[in-house]
Amino acid sequence: MELKVLAGSANPALAQRVARELGLPLSEAELGRFPDGEVRLRLAESVRGADVYVIQPTSPPVNDHLMELLLFADALRRSSARRINAVIPYFGYARQDKQTKGREPISAKVVADLLERVGVHRVIAVDLHAPQIQGFFNIPVDHLSAVRLFAEYLVREGLTQNAVIVSPDAGRAEEARRLSELLELPMAMLAKRRTGPTETEVTYVIGEVKGLRPILIDDIVSTGGTIRRGVEALVAAGARPEAVVMATHPVLVGPARENLAHEGIERVVFTDTIPLSDNPGYVVLSTAPLLAEAIRRVHTHRSVSELLAHQGPVDPLFSNA
């Protein structure tokens, strides 16, 4: 079965890197807008009988990028593609994954239903905001993790001496645990409570951080307020004001850049799941090799779960390769 890779407009640079890793050209599509702003799409080559992977994070503007992805899937289904795979490095609409108060939608479930309805056969995502989103789908979901990328970077840069891995909340505790095991470092966690839809308050630090460099790992940085307040709480608890902030998805809205410029933050590390229009010196790690390997394994019917096996500790020699 022929393998084809298509790109929406959300992150064409990442799609190009993934295609290059696979040794393939990006398949051509005509993507634009009608005068009233509606998405206009036409596949520019045959996909009949092909195994097609559409690379499209649903990052801001999320509604536009989501609609593009749905139209790609519909066009592929109507063009007799054999398998339609949605590669969604950043899965938007993930924050409302449950009802916390009455009369709220479960937005992530709505998106899952839409993707299935238009004919998507499989989803490949990186660091879902809530792992239970996988259960909203009745099709396979390969949930990849950027933890190994972060671990290799920290070893390569020599940032693991006298350090502690910090989870910004209970929801990220599993990823923080994986990173701490890979690097054989202690772990701490911030206890926080939500004061609004986008606002949180750090109440206390769980674990020993005094005299250590805090390495915070998160999935999304949106406004950066939680990160800034977390760093302030860690420094107040005795941590060194040399924090390394690592997050998979740089949504970065509102005062995010100001919050990440806090004097207690030494370095900010993201991945390229969302393109940065303005980069004031952040480190960006590429997820292209990870996504390409996942695509290669799905296409050849090999295990993808092996990519999730966090065998540690990380070998510094391997990390420098």
Quote the pLDDT of residue 315. Answer: 53
The span from the CA of 220 to the CA of 159, in Å, is 22
Lowest mean pLDDT: which of 102-116, 191-205, 234-248, 257-271? 191-205
Quote the pLDDT of residue 317. Answer: 38
Q: How far is CA 36 from the centre of its chain?
A: 31
pLDDT bin (cut points 50, 70, 90) of residue 306 is: confident
pLDDT in tens, 262-275: 999 999 999 999 99
Provide the percentage of residues in the chain whose pLDDT is more than 90: 84
Q: Is 192 a known active-site residue?
A: yes
What is the pTM (predicted TM-score) of this model?
Answer: 0.92
Lowest mean pLDDT: which of 109-113, 202-206, 263-267, 314-318? 314-318
Tell me the sheet residues that pair with 5.
53
The span from the CA of 122 to the CA of 193, in Å, is 35
Long-range contact set of residues 17-22: C-beta below 8 Å, sequence gap at least 24:
17/272, 17/286, 17/288, 18/55, 18/87, 18/288, 18/291, 18/292, 18/295, 20/288, 21/288, 21/289, 21/291, 21/292, 21/293, 22/292, 22/295, 22/296
**Common-topology check for domains 3-145+288-308 and 147-285:** yes
Match 């996988």 to its residue by tokens: 134
Backbone angles phi, psi at 138, to 5 degrees: -105, 15
Most confidently modeled range among 177-186, 187-196, 299-308: 177-186
Q: Is 199 left (phi over 0), alpha (psi -120 to 50) or beta?
A: beta
Domain range annotation of the chain: 3-145+288-308, 147-285
pLDDT in tens, 140-189: 999 999 999 999 999 999 999 999 999 998 888 999 999 999 999 999 99
What is the torsion angle, in degrees rounded to the nearest 10, for the CA atoms of residue 245, residue 246, residue 249 and residue 254? 0
The span from the CA of 264 to the CA of 214, in Å, is 10
Statement: residue 196 has pLDDT above 70: no
The span from the CA of 284 to the CA of 250, in Å, is 10
Mean pLDDT confidence for 5-22: 98
DSSP single-letter state for residue 225: H
Contact 22/296 with Cβ under 8 angstroms?
Answer: yes
Catalytic residue (one of 4, 109, 192, 210): 192
The span from the CA of 143 to the CA of 305, in Å, is 9
Domain 147-285 class?
alpha beta
Nearest to 264, CA basis, from 307, 226, 214: 214
Quote the pLDDT of residue 97. Answer: 86
Mean pLDDT of the chain: 92
| First-residue to last-residue Cα distance in the chain | 33
pLDDT bin (cut points 50, 70, 90) of residue 308 is: confident
The span from the CA of 182 to the CA of 180, in Å, is 6
Statement: residue 200 has pLDDT above 90: no
Nearest to 46, CA basis, from 79, 7, 23: 79
CB burial readout 272-286, b (16+ within 10 A) else e? bbbeeeeeeebebbb
pLDDT bin (cut points 50, 70, 90) of residue 318 is: very low
CB burial readout 69-93, b (16+ within 10 A) else e? bbbbbbbbeeeebebbbbbbbbbbb
Architecture of the 3-145+288-308 domain: 3-Layer(aba) Sandwich (3.40)
